[in-house]
Structure 1
Amino acid sequence: MRPILLALAATLALSLPAKADDVTVAVTAIVEHPALDAARKGVLDALTAAGYKEGENLKFVFESAQGNPATAAQIARQFAGDEPNVIVPISTPSAQAVSSTRDIPVVFTAVSDPLGAQLVKNMDKPGGNVTGLSDMSPVAEHLALIKEILPDVKTIGYLYNSGEANSVSLLAVLKAEAEKAGLKVVESAATKSAEVQGAARALIGRADVIYIPTDNTIISALEGAVAVAEESKLPLFTADTDSVSRGSIAALGFNYYDVGKQTGEIVVRVLKGENPGDIAVKTAAGSDLVVNKAAAEKMGVTLPQSVLSRATKVIE
């Protein structure tokens, strides 16, 4: 009778519905701000659409490093010990922190330059346990937009964290594209959020506009830079569309909720058994133009009708 009972128990176990937390997806971001939060929501919604429902068959864990690289490293070690099914780092610093993990699949997102950040060696065949989604900004289009709004601009003030790899990579791209456009680039760095306002102030008299890339340190303290821009009538533009509602004049970029959904679709492929190293690193699809008329007025700028007419969203 004992073998029969064991066989019956095994049959019953197979027929039972999946237990809660059958799959664990561990997500981390270097800091919380609207774009990264939207990406996280997109990942979760893509998982839900694929049948992975939080509290039923999915445990969705999130940890923020609160802008601290040391905390990001601690989170990476914690996740490695917890052994989730997939780790999803949002932003370059978080992706770099978990890059030492070799046995757990990693699907990064909101990383501008995966090659420069040394996350993968090949975009088409990343190999190992890592793949993901790049959000490399369309820098040439950003400069064209700035020149369309402000035809007399000559100098671009680049406000960034010099310790953030994606911002350093974007600086190189910006300099190359600015030279083609006949523009000069002036840098001002802030290595932590408390320095952002001072770094923005350092551009007064040295630049015609402030341009902020998808830099998590700067964006997390954007209001400080906006206050300087409004006070000094120094037009401020961002690469991050979610920052326009917070006081940037305009941004041409990705909808980060959609970026998250695209990332989540890659996570689903991994959960279904694909090897991350065999999945090509993709560049995010889609490009939104968001403008803020009120912010423009505060900085002494009138948005041309050509920009307003094609904007995806206009904030009054």
Structure 2
Amino acid sequence: MKLVTCLLYLIVLSTCSLANAESKKVLIVETLPVPIVTMHTQYISAELSRLNMDIELEIYNGDGQSERIANHISKKLVCNCIDLVITNGTLASKVGKRVLKGKNTPMVFVTVADPHGAGLVPDKDSTGFNFITGSIYSVKRGTKFEIANQLLKGKQTDIGIVATTYPSALTDIAKLESISNRYKNINLVKRLVDYKDSNDMELTDTYLQANEAVISVQSEVDFYWSVNGPFSEKQSFVPEISKIKPVLYGANVKSVMQGALFTVIPDVHSTGEQIAHIVKDIFSGVSPHKIAVRPAPRSTVAFNVKTANQLGIVIPYDLLSIAGDNVFQ
């Protein structure tokens, strides 16, 4: 009887050990806690849970600081505490690539508008990218400008773009400038502030300088346009900027709820599903470099009709119908 009891104990012990051995540790590193980043984390976490995967999930806020992010990932590598890293935001993804290179730990990026420009996807001469894949956070800029032009009815308009030199902001601005050349009635007025993130004081000063830049161009513009990047994603961006001039384009749905006229962004829910399924594929044995980097399968359009009425702008019914429930006032 004792022998049987002992055998049963060993079976249970080995089963528990096997279960623990199969549990995967996933670290989500957020660049900083702005709406689009935290929403992606929320939907990724929910979908990982729905898939019923045996995962231990840690969420880490990098607070917009490169070295803080690098140090945390490095610590996790030293203690062998991670099996996969999800980098949420361009800064976290660039740091993640640097720290994880050659470490045999896969990385999945999200909330990155230009993975190629950020050095996250290879060109023909690149090597050492086989541990990285992810999702492109992008909707064609031409779509945004076409909607803006339709709303403005071809009226001569000066649009202010104030941003930091955060990588995704620079990419967004460059593409917007290229596309704006097709619209003779739209003139972009640009101001850039150096993005410094060594510590909290530098980061705070960066945002203060950006706010000053917004004020400096107010006499030259009719509207402001928020581009990808932490400055535009700040919760206070639209409420504060709208006191100076209306915000034509918002960086996220929350900004439209706050008063920006419209936005067009990748659908957060479908992005969360996309990333969770990439994680599942990797843990099933698929190599990251065999998983194509693609945009989210769906997009979200949102309008603020109160802002439109205040500006004397009529939003066509076909655009409102596309927005569905994302029409605010």
Give yes or no for the alignment of 1:241 onto 2:253: yes
Cα drift, residue 256 of structure 1: 1.8
Match of 2:188 among 185, 189, 194: 185
Structure 1 gaps of 5+ residues are none
Give yes or no for the alignment of 1:292 onto 2:304: yes
Match of 1:81 among 78, 86, 109: 78
User: Per-residue displacement from partner, 1:110-138 (whole Å, max 9, x unpaired)?
Assistant: 11111110112149x98421111111232
CA change 1:241–1:214 in 2 (3 A) is: farther
Q: Hey, what's the Cα distance between the residues in 2 that align with 1:310 and 1:149?
A: 15
CA change 1:244–1:80 in 2 (3 A) is: farther
CA change 1:82–1:38 in 2 (3 A) is: farther
Give yes or no for the alignment of 1:136 onto 2:144: no
Contact 1:204 1:234 in 2 (8 A): no
User: Per-residue displacement from partner, 1:126-176 (whole Å, max 9, x unpaired)?
Assistant: 8421111111232111111111222214333222221x1111111111111
Structure 2 gaps of 5+ residues are 196-205
CA change 1:267–1:297 in 2 (3 A) is: same
Q: For 1:58-69, list aligned pairs within 5 A.
A: 58-69=55-66
Give yes or no for the alignment of 1:51 onto 2:49: no
Letter of the 1:76 counterpart: I
Q: Hey, what's the Cα distance between the residues in 2 that align with 1:277 and 1:89?
A: 16
CA change 1:117–1:6 in 2 (3 A) is: farther
Match of 1:209 in 2: 223
Letter of the 2:298 counterpart: G
Cα drift, residue 77 of structure 1: 2.2
Q: For 1:228-307, list aligned pairs within 5 A.
A: 228-229=241-242, 231-297=243-309, 300-306=311-317, 307=319
Contact 1:131 1:281 in 2 (8 A): yes
Letter of the 1:146 counterpart: A
Cα drift, residue 78 of structure 1: 2.8
What SS is found at the alignment partner of 2:286? coil
Give aligned-pair identity as a percent: 17
Greater RCO, 1 or 2 (C-alpha within 8 Å, sep 6+): 1
Q: Hey, what's the Cα distance between the residues in 1 that align with 2:78 and 2:156?
A: 52
Q: Which runs of 4+ in 1 moved over 6 A?
A: 4-10
Q: Hey, what's the Cα distance between the residues in 2 that align with 1:10 and 1:157?
A: 69
Aligned length: 304
Letter of the 2:228 counterpart: T
Q: Hey, what's the Cα distance between the residues in 2 that align with 1:257 and 1:159?
A: 29
Match of 2:201 in 1: none
What SS is found at the alignment partner of 1:99? helix
Cα drift, residue 6 of structure 1: 10
Match of 2:167 among 165, 168, 177: 165
What SS is found at the alignment partner of 1:180? coil
Letter of the 1:140 counterpart: G
Cα drift, residue 198 of structure 1: 2.2
Which segment drifts farther, 84-93 or 305-314? 305-314
Q: Hey, what's the Cα distance between the residues in 2 that align with 1:87 and 1:13?
A: 30
Letter of the 2:77 counterpart: A
CA change 1:234–1:245 in 2 (3 A) is: closer
What SS is found at the alignment partner of 2:160? strand
Q: For 1:8-47, list aligned pairs within 5 A.
A: 11-16=11-16, 18-19=19-20, 22-47=23-48
Cα RMSD after superposing both structures: 2.8
Contact 2:223 2:246 in 1 (8 A): yes
